[in-house]
Chain A
Amino acid sequence: MNHILTVQNLLVRRGGVTVLDIEQMSVETSRILALIGPNGAGKSTLLLTMAGLLKPDRGGILYRGVAVDTSARRSEMRKSVSVVFQEPLLLNTSVYKNVALGLKFRHLTNGDIRKNVEDALAYFGISPLAKRSAKTLSGGEAKRVSLARAFALKPELILLDEAFNSLDPPTRETLIDDLRHILEETKITAVLALHDREETLRLAQDVVVLADGGMIQSGTTAQVFNRPASEFVAGFVGTETILEGTVQMNRDNLLEIAVGDKMLEAVGDFAPGQTVFCCVRPENITVSADPLKKVSARNVFEAKIQKIVRQAFFYKMILDCGFPVVAYITVSSCEDLGLCEGTSVTVSFKATAVHVMARDH
Chain B
Amino acid sequence: MELIVQGIVKAFELLISFDPEVLGITWLSLKISGTATFISLFFGVSIGTTVALTTFPGKRLVISLINTGMGLPPVVVGLFVTIMIWRSGPLGFLEILYTPYAMIIAQAIIATPIVMGISLASIQNLPPNLRLQILSLGASRMQMVWVLIKESKLPLLAAVMAGFGGVISEVGASIMVGGNIKGYSRVLTTATVMETGKGNFDIAIALGIILLILAFLVNLLLTHIQQRQQLR
Contacts and interface: CB of A to CB of B under 8 A. Distances in A.
Contact of B137 (A93, A101, A133): A101
Interface string A73-96: 001001101110111010111000
Q: For chain B, what secondary structure do more than half of its interface residues adopt (helix, strand, loop), or is it mixed? A: helix
Tell me the interface secondary structure of chain A in the complex: loop
Contact of A105 (B127, B129, B138, B151): B138
Interface string A9-26: 000000000000000000
B147 interface: yes
A53 interface: yes
A53 B135 CA distance: 8
Give the residue among A51, A78, A105 with the most B Cβ atoms within 10 A.
A105
B129 A78 contact: no
Contacts of B140: 75, 105
B147 A83 contact: no
Interface in A214-247: none
A181 B93 CA distance: 73
A102 interface: yes
Interface residues of B, number: 18
A149 interface: yes
B53 interface: no
Given A87-B127, A91-B151, A92-B151, A149 B137 contact: yes
B130 interface: yes
A1 to B, nearest CB: 26
Contact of A93 (B132, B135, B232): B232
Interface in A158-217: none
Given A91-B151, A93-B232, A79 B138 contact: yes
A85 B137 contact: no
A79 B150 CA distance: 23
Given A87-B127, A93-B232, A48 B132 contact: yes
B139 A89 contact: no
Interface string B134-178: 111111100100010011000000000000000000000000000
B68 interface: no
B133 interface: yes
A106 interface: yes
A105 B135 CA distance: 10
Nearest to A54: B132
A153 interface: yes
Nearest to B129: A85
Nearest to A83: B136
Contacts of A105: 137-140, 143
A87 B129 CA distance: 9
Contacts of A101: 134, 137, 147
B232 A89 contact: no
Nearest to A94: B232
A102 B139 CA distance: 7
Contacts of A51: 132, 136
Nearest to B130: A89
Given A85-B132, A87-B127, A89-B129, A153 B137 contact: yes
Interface of B: 127, 129-130, 132-140, 143, 147, 150-151, 229, 232
Interface of A: 48, 51, 53, 75, 78-79, 81-83, 85-87, 89, 91-93, 101-102, 105-106, 133, 149, 153
10 contacts: A82-B137, A85-B129, A85-B132, A86-B129, A87-B129, A92-B229, A105-B137, A105-B139, A105-B143, A153-B138
